[in-house]
Amino acid sequence: MIIRRLHREESPPFSLLLLADPSKEKVNEHLEKGICFVAEENKEIIGVYILEEKNKTSIELVNIAVKEHLHGKGIGKKLIQHVLQSIKEQGYETIEVGTGNSSIDQLAFYQKCGFRMTGIERNFFLKHYKEPLFENGIRCQDMVRLTFFLR
């Protein structure tokens, strides 16, 4: 598997990006503001992530996804390791990620990767998404913020 930056002339892998965020409008905003990386195997895109700089010492992982049939095979962990290595080399001190209160698997995944819960943005999904979102039989209402401290 290789992980590389998505070239400007390439079409973003929307089918993957929309797994992590169902709003095409939000995904497009992230693509405009951030930097997109893809994981490829046999020239097929199997994973993706987008980073957005918050300030000189902090960056945010605004989208990360792996093809559904490949979940549980360590690809997401490899993407996170790639992110951490890249941003550490660039001098960032922290990386943040946000996920829904109903995203039980994602909350476990980020904590297994070393992220710590650092806050909750109450009613985030109620304010920013027109349609109600549900996962695991739970209404997604709040954004749980997690941070990985590199220093």
CATH number at residue 80: 3.40.630.30
pLDDT of amino acid 88? 93
- For 26-43, the pLDDT digits (tens) are 999 999 999 999 999 999
Q: Calculate the alpha carbon distances from 20 to 14, 67, 90, 91, 149 in Å.
A: 10, 11, 25, 27, 23
- For 65-117, the pLDDT digits (tens) are 999 999 999 999 999 999 999 999 999 999 999 999 999 999 999 999 999 99
Number of domains in the chain: 1
**CB-neighbour burial class of residue 84 (10 A; exposed 0-12, middle 13-18, buried 19+):** middle
Q: Is the pLDDT of residue 150 over 90?
A: yes
Are 91 and 142 within 8 A, CB to CB?
A: no
Look up the domain containing 28 and give its range. Answer: 2-149
Taking the C-alpha atoms of 87, 45, 77 and 81 in order, what is their torsion angle to the nearest 10 degrees? -20
Taking the model in full, what pTM does it have?
A: 0.92
Task: Record the tokens describing residue 98, joined without a space.
Answer: 């946000």
Give which of 119, 21, 151 is closest to 36, Cα–Cα. 21
At 8, the pLDDT band (50, 70, 90 cuts) reads confident
